[in-house]
Copies of this chain bind each other. A is one copy, B any other.
């Protein structure tokens, strides 16, 4: 019977057939220990020369790493093994022998990261990278489940857009049948239109920034989920954000225990992530940054070191709200208490991971929005439809964007977000 490795524990005592690839091996005299992976897991297959014969033993001993194989054997409980089982080989067959020079040999010296990125299509087969992909898939499932179970409708926003949401710098331009168009930076404006139609919506898809930065936190192509809710104000948005982030973390803790272990993540830190998160006014954030010994002029946006200073001492994300309007996007509703500030919030992950969410209440007043579009020198004609949303049935509304890769990096405890997306696009890098 064909079985996947992740299901082997259900078949202890039975003979099964698995299909996969040789991942690693160790031979001790007449016994071969072959690690086989099939995408669902890795299992140790044990072959005894006297039982399986010379030909099969030679396969166990010599077939190059990544050769594809079909293995039959009896599942045995084994507490020391990762999945709690091992397979006693009865038959092993090579489907296709791998070339002997597999670039990412399992060895003591870890290859240089540039080399691994160039071989990303093969690197994905390694244990840690596969674990990261599984955590990413779990985060995406969590995103959908959270919103789908709370009455939100998924509404996909377009990728090809005629205008820039936050100005035209950092945009990839495309030739659209001889018209100028851009790759979207955010689906928000479209999500706003959809929220006026369906009440509670979210869009989820790839977004693009042509930034010439090479930091470990930047990708030119990354995935973002953006909920948008009619009749929601900043306080409600912060509640939604802390529930959402907690849901994602707790879901991964429940369902991706094995993967977090492979990645050597200290999960005690994640266990604490539950509402409420600490709320900190921008002015208080400035004070804390200075108390931590950094110089920081009031009025600027936070950089990575400032975010780290703000979250220091907190074991949960911190929600910094009411940034100065001047450093934020044109569409943000001003604080009625003090119009210098915007009704916005950034959620900063602890342990130095920094911003994972940016959100705000949006301007619902037609005249104010019109003025802002003018002040920001945005092309009015491209925003006529966006202004329409205030002409016909304006309501207070709010939304945020959560970056998938940054969230995965934090949950997985991985420094580089380029490992949190299957095929990263970075400055000058689009292969494979």
- Mark A residues whose CB is within 8 Å of B: 4, 6, 19-21, 38-40, 66-68, 95-96, 98-99, 102, 119-122, 124-125, 129-130, 133-134, 136-137, 140-141, 144, 148, 151, 153-162, 172-177, 179, 181, 183, 190, 193-201, 205-206, 208, 210, 212, 220-221, 223, 230-231, 364, 382, 385-386, 388-395, 421-423, 425, 427-428, 430-432
Contacts and interface: CB of A to CB of B under 8 A. Distances in A.
B174 A183 contact: yes
Nearest to A192: B121
A236 to B, nearest CB: 11
A267 to B, nearest CB: 21
A122 B388 contact: yes
A154 B143 CA distance: 13
Contacts of A120: 385
A213 B394 CA distance: 37
A66 B199 contact: no
A404 B230 CA distance: 27
A389 B121 contact: yes
A13 to B, nearest CB: 23
Contacts of A39: 153, 195-201, 230
A200 B2 CA distance: 15
Contacts of A427: 177
18 contacts: A6-B151, A19-B395, A38-B199, A39-B195, A39-B198, A40-B151, A40-B198, A68-B394, A95-B395, A102-B392, A122-B193, A122-B392, A130-B197, A137-B153, A156-B422, A173-B175, A179-B428, A181-B430
Given A20-B199, A39-B230, A160-B220, 19 more contacts: A21-B196, A39-B195, A39-B197, A40-B198, A95-B395, A98-B392, A98-B393, A124-B194, A133-B197, A141-B144, A141-B148, A157-B422, A158-B221, A158-B425, A159-B208, A172-B176, A177-B427, A205-B206, A385-B432
